[in-house]
Amino acid sequence: MSQTLAGPYEPIAADEYNNVKMICLRCSGAEVNTECAPDGSDAWRIYSCRRCNFSWRSIEDVNSILRTSGRTPSRLREEQIAKLPVPVPMPQEEA
C-alpha cells in the first residue's frame, strides 16, 4: 500500500457505492453522476451534480469545501439557481 501526504489509502469497494443513492451535498439535487478512476483502481469516485454542477471526490470532506466563509456550510436552493448572476447576458435579456 502506498503512503501519501494524507496517509495510507484504502481502495474503495464498489459495492459500498452501488447500494447508495447519492444526492448533491450542495443543492440536494437527486441527479448525481458518478465517475470512476480512469485506471480502474477504484481508489476514488467523482460525483457531479447535474443541477448545480458541484463536483466532489469520494475521498474529500465535502463540508469543508462548502464552508466558504469558515462558518456553516453554504447550500444552494433550487430557486436560488435561477436567480444567480449572468455575467454574459443573453440577447433576450439585453432587450
Residues lying near other proteins in the complex (CB under 8 A) are found at 2-6, 9, 26, 33, 35, 37-39, 41, 43-44, 46, 48, 50-55, 57, 59-60, 64-65, 68, 76, 81, 84-92
Which residue number, 53 or 72, has a Cβ lying nearer to other proteins?
53
Place of cell 447550500: 75
Q: What are phi and psi of 75, to 5 degrees?
A: -110, 165
Closest separation in Å from C-beta 72 to other proteins: 14
- The count of residues in the chain is 95
Residues facing 49 on adjacent strands? 32
Which residue number, 3 or 15, has a Cβ lying nearer to other proteins?
3
The C-alpha R_g of the chain, in whole angstroms, comes to 17
